[in-house]
Chains A and B, each alone.
Chain A
């Protein structure tokens, strides 16, 4: 499990087709292994941001933001070629403009800090229930669509 890296993709509603998503997952996994080692694999999670809830420069955004961790203290001469190749791959598959893909490749400890803050905003007394509910949605989407997906709003 330690070598399973969570790739979080914040995408706009109807941003990518099922086929595109599966293709992106395969290509991302292949690239990650190529740059960081065969022992790693990605666990992609797609978070759908409903229309009207994402803004770039105060205008409605069509951007997908992808965040994934790497081992701590990876040098930029290893990190950057991966990032460049990843964004190229993304653009090739989705035919998006280069400004429509934002990639964050963070050290593992920063990714964990983000995750901690994201979960930490939830009421501790009901956290277990709500996080469990979100995880159930993820599993359900995997069974139904073939990939892990959830909505950015908790009531959907």
Chain B
């Protein structure tokens, strides 16, 4: 977590997928301070999305951040993804689901609450 699921009607070129995975990681970590090794991005193609929508991004993130931070994350990512895909904002849909960190296990550890990553010894020892 976070788990970003990017659905598209048409295939996204491999280079763009790589750039998008990096973009999402950079924006997510830049705004939230989350470790890069937490950021999962998966692409689902040939999805019969709603009429007029070419891309759908579902953001699964840890619960516990402020509404302001979540809004900033959503809005910044939206803007950057539209730019990267060189598409119209009307063709991109983006939504967020928050999941408590204590419901997620990675590297045999329960994830820390957002903002408490510094207290995690196992993260310092190298996760990912």
Contacts and interface: CB of A to CB of B under 8 A. Distances in A.
B97 A121 contact: no
Nearest to A133: B48
B42 A99 contact: no
A80 B58 contact: no
A117 B95 contact: yes
Interface string B48-73: 11110100101010000000000000
Contacts of B128: 56-57, 99
B53 to A, nearest CB: 8
A66 B44 CA distance: 17
Contacts of A53: 17, 42-45
Given A58-B25, A102-B106, A104-B1, A154 B47 contact: yes
A100 to B, nearest CB: 9
Contact of A153 (B45, B104, B107): B45
A55 B51 contact: no
Given A57-B36, A84-B105, A102-B105, A117 B58 contact: yes
Contacts, number: 126
B97 A130 contact: no
Interface string A85-118: 0011000000000110011111100100110011
Interface residues of B, number: 44
A124 B99 CA distance: 26
A80 B104 CA distance: 9
Interface of A: 10, 49, 52-58, 61, 63, 65, 76, 79-80, 83-84, 87-88, 98-99, 102-107, 110, 113-114, 117-118, 121-126, 130, 152-156
- Ranked nearest first, the 10 interchain pairs of A and B with the lowest CB-CB distance are A55-B21, A155-B46, A58-B22, A53-B43, A121-B56, A154-B46, A103-B105, A98-B108, A55-B41, A83-B105
